[in-house]
Amino acid sequence: MRLKLGSSARVPAPAKPRNNKGDVQVRWARVVASLLIAAVTVLMSVGCGSSSKNLQQTAASNGALYTFISDTPACDVLSLGIFITQMTLHEVGTPSTSSVTVWPTNSSPTSPVVEMSTLRDTMTVANLASVPPGSYDQLVLRAVVNSSAVYDPSKTPPVSPYSPTLTSTDVTIQLHPELTVTSGQVSAVLLDLNLPQSLNVDSQGQLSGSVTWVFSAHPVTASGPTGFGEMDSLYGFIRTITTSSPGAGFTGSFVLQTLSGTSGGQGPALAVNLTDSSDLCVNGSCGVPVSQIDQLTTGSYVEVDSYVDQNGNIVAKRIQVEDREDFTKQLLAYVGPVLDVTRDAGGAVTQFDMLVRETEPTDPTDIPNSTAVTVYVPQTTTFNPLLLSPDLSSMASSGNLSFDPTTIMPGQEVVVHGVFSKASGGTTTVTANSVYPRYQSVQGTFASLVGTPGSDNMTGAFQMAPCSDILNTTPFMVVTDNQTSFENTTGLSTLSTSTPVLARGLTFFTLTNTTIGNTGTQVPAGTMVLLAKQVRQF
């Protein structure tokens, strides 16, 4: 099998996220496995206006430290879960052998397994801990590979497990600038894993079977209306709902159980705070008043567009409620990419294979992470839109772009809700009740502009060649508008064929010629279209 790294064998790390402008998408897939909401809330109570109660003793002189993590993607690596078992900091002016343990400690155990393949131009939280105040110039990690899979077109389905050896579990990272932790305040540091640099390859570009961790790190400063940054896809299931105000400016909250932590475990329960402007999307429509959240069913899977304010509170902008899960009935949510599809004579999908990066709730025994399953699609299965972005929903509607049984394609990121069964031979199948698309980021090479960009240099489209083989079977077009965020480029006219580009948004497949009305972009039949929230040029 060949590992494709895009336009060159080594892809440079992306520029640092601009948290002060609120355009970094932070996806809270998981937090530390045993750090329950009590631990989260007490650490956040160090800042004024926190919506949390002090339920656990924490040293009053310490500060709260978030550890975020992101990655630079490798094109055909479909899954890579890493388990960061330890993190320490070196304080400026102390002996080189001295260190401060961030985790594991009694109050801050080890982080959960982090699925790196989903962090293309996004971040998640690896840990939240209480740390002594001071200036720190060095960070030391200990990390292992938990599970991994790569695209392999020679197999059916086209995926192979990958179990690399590590040249070393430990990596030392210099912090430039230094990380400053202040007593009674919230600080944050971002870890960035350069995945292409970490996966060793031979002279033919094939995986050599070993990994050498290549991390960088820098402090993250909270500022502006979105604090530490926007989270465009926080997901999990609702455990409890509170309709009374948990703090100033909040009308209510719910406890969200995040996805799998360490093997066999779960992530923590997180308090998601609601305001008068929070928007509920239920049964395919938005605008449901947040006062009606008490009518929702606990156990429902939700996706949340939210942000972390400067005091560490999670504040919901928009919440999409999907199906209710029930582990006792083997009814789960399965999160991952479509691998291949089987259609009937009319073009409607009857079944497809998908790579399950994780399940909701956690099911490590029957369906481990990085496992391929076959999804059966009866006529009763519903295909539903992702409504977290009104702008992308409007673009899709204007071009009659739909997510349905005739347009689901390999490479699309989905959530499948349904009942699984496992044959004696180990084959797992899922009968789908419903299927939802998810945001995804696609890396590739800019090919050419489609037409002339609008006067704002943001509205228009371009042809792109995805570097992942699973998305390279059809023409691929990225459509943008005046709400698309451009990074490391001033707009469409400055995109270059000489450097990789990464676009994040929603993908659709067109069966007929169409025009996306609010951009004027003409899309030929048989094209995969990504409606972009963000375009980054490396």
Query: DSSP per residue over 457-511, as a string?
Result: SSSEEEEEEESSGGG-SS-EEEEE-TT-EEESSSSGGG--TTSEEEEEEEEEE-S
SS3 354: strand
Mean pLDDT, residues 424-435? 89
Please check the confidence at residue 459 and state whether its pLDDT lies above 80: yes
- pLDDT per position as a tens digit, 124-139: 777 788 999 999 999 9
End-to-end CA gap in the chain: 26
pLDDT band per the 50, 70, 90 thresholds, residue 151 = very high
Residue 489 carries which side chain, given as an amino acid letter?
Answer: T
Please check the confidence at residue 9 and state whether its pLDDT lies above 50: no
Between the alpha carbon of residue 112 and those of residues 61, 151, 339, 373, the distances in Å are 27, 25, 26, 23
Mean pLDDT, residues 96-105? 91
Torsion of the alpha carbons at 92, 98, 104 and 107, rounded to the nearest 10: -70
Quickly name the fold that domain 327-437 has: OB fold (Dihydrolipoamide Acetyltransferase, E2P) (2.40.50)
For residues 130 and 105, what is the distance between their CA atoms, to the nearest angstrom?
Answer: 10
Q: Are 192 and 316 in contact (CB under 8 A)?
A: no
pLDDT band per the 50, 70, 90 thresholds, residue 36 = very low
Mean pLDDT, residues 11-18? 41
What's the pLDDT score for residue 59? Answer: 52
Mean pLDDT, residues 316-322? 95
Share of the chain above pLDDT 70, in %: 86
pLDDT band per the 50, 70, 90 thresholds, residue 42 = very low
As to burial, measured by CB atoms within 10 angstroms (0-12 exposed, 13-18 middle, 19+ buried), residue 224 is: middle
Task: State the DSSP code for 75.
Answer: T
Please check the confidence at residue 142 and state whether its pLDDT lies above 90: yes
Residues contacting 277, CB < 8 A, separation 6+: 317
| Total length of the chain | 538
Mean pLDDT, residues 460-486? 95
Please check the confidence at residue 305 and state whether its pLDDT lies above 50: yes
**What value does the mean pLDDT of the chain take?**
84
- pLDDT per position as a tens digit, 385-403: 999 999 999 999 999 999 9
As to burial, measured by CB atoms within 10 angstroms (0-12 exposed, 13-18 middle, 19+ buried), residue 54 is: middle
What's the pLDDT score for residue 236? Answer: 86
Residue 495 carries which side chain, given as an amino acid letter?
Answer: L
Least confident of 34-38, 96-100, 316-320: 34-38
- pLDDT per position as a tens digit, 337-385: 999 999 999 999 999 999 999 888 877 677 888 899 999 999 999 999 9
For residues 125 and 114, what is the distance between their CA atoms, to the nearest angstrom?
Answer: 9
pLDDT band per the 50, 70, 90 thresholds, residue 35 = very low
Torsion of the alpha carbons at 244, 247, 251 and 254, rounded to the nearest 10: -70
The ranges assigned to domains in the chain are 19-220, 327-437, 440-537
Least confident of 75-79, 165-169, 231-235, 278-282: 231-235
pLDDT band per the 50, 70, 90 thresholds, residue 118 = confident
Of 114, 212, 205, 211, residue with least CA distance to 469: 205
